[in-house]
Amino acid sequence: NAGVTQTPKFQVLKTGQSMTLQCAQDMNHEYMSWYRQDPGMGLRLIHYSVGAGITDQGEVPNGYNVSRSTTEDFPLRLLSAAPSQTSVYFCASSYRDDTQYFGPGTRLTVL
Amino acid sequence: AQSVTQLDSQVPVFEEAPVELRCNYSSSVSVYLFWYVQYPNQGLQLLLKYLSGSTLVKGINGFEAEFNKSQTSFHLRKPSVHISDTAEYFCAVSDRGSTLGRLYFGRGTQLTVWP
């Protein structure tokens, strides 16, 4: 099993550009989440999904969109990148309320 | 909503000394509790978790944690640390039986082990 994979590992964007961060898991987990990690802030939940076709907002959803068309994939879209979105992004998956498994992260810089 | 407080943002210790990283949470419902570790430039890895049963939980790399319901705490301990334990440690909670699968994280504690 590859677990949770994320691409790309690094990305630099200019303000106003859009992009999609990819996340895939091969553990057949129902639950998938996106977090951002900023220094001194821990991990904050952006969006999450409890199954294919079902998504909801977390603590910091503004500026991001998600969709879940399959169990395996949960892409995160930045609509119009802003410097405040410079962060490290982690995708995670789990079986309900049990252990979440994290991907290796995407380090995003917005200039 | 849940909240998680990690009482120390930085903990420096010497190699082979004991360490305790403190975590308190607030919740109106029963919870599951987790400790994750993040090594530099890596993702998060599960250290240990409390779901039910014995309140003393043992994890990987010699770490253990004790769930104290009355004090709403889940402190992480190791009797003798190594240089390789230098990392950031996150405490997290989820609602027991929740259908949402949400984790609430503390802000993290940076453990630095000196030779």
pLDDT digits (tens, 9 = 90+) for B46-95: 999 998 888 899 999 999 999 998 999 999 999 999 999 999 999 999 87
**Cα A33 to Cα A91: distance, rounded to the nearest angstrom:** 6
The answer to whether A74 contacts chain B (CB < 8 Å) is: no
Question: What does the pLDDT average to over B14-43?
Answer: 91
* Alpha carbon distance B98, B93 (integer Å): 11
In chain B, residues with a C-beta closer than 8 Å to the C-beta of A41 are 107
List of chain A residues whose C-beta atoms are within 8 Å of the C-beta of residue B106: 42
- Please state, in angstroms and rounded to a whole number, the distance separating the CA atoms of residues B66 and A103: 27
Contact B43 A45 (CB under 8 A): no
Point out the residue among B32, B90, B108 whose CB comes nearest to the CB of A97.
B32
Q: Do A45 and B46 touch (CB under 8 A)?
A: no
The CA-based angle A73-A77-A78, given to 5 degrees, is: 160
Chain A residues in contact with B90 by the CB 8 A cut-off are 42-43
User: Residue B3 and residue A79: Cα distance in Å, rounded?
Assistant: 30
Size of interface A-B (CB pairs under 8 A): 66
d(CA A58, CA A46): 5
Specify the pLDDT at position B34. 94
Burial of A86 (0-12, 13-18, 19+ CB in 10 A): middle
The pLDDT, as a whole number, for residue B29 is 77
Question: For residues B104 and B93, is the Cβ–Cβ distance under 8 A?
Answer: yes
pLDDT at B97: 65
**Per-residue confidence (pLDDT) for residue B102, from 0 to 100:** 77
Mean pLDDT of B9-34: 92
End-to-end CA, chain A? 36
What is the percent of chain B where pLDDT is above 70? 94
The reported pLDDT for the residue numbered B104 is 87
Q: Which residue of B has its CA nearest to A91?
A: B43
- Confidence (pLDDT) at B99: 59
pLDDT at B101: 65
> Is any Cβ of chain A less than 8 angstroms from the Cβ of B77?
no
pLDDT beneath 50, residues of chain A: none
Are the beta carbons of A40 and B96 separated by less than 8 Å?
no
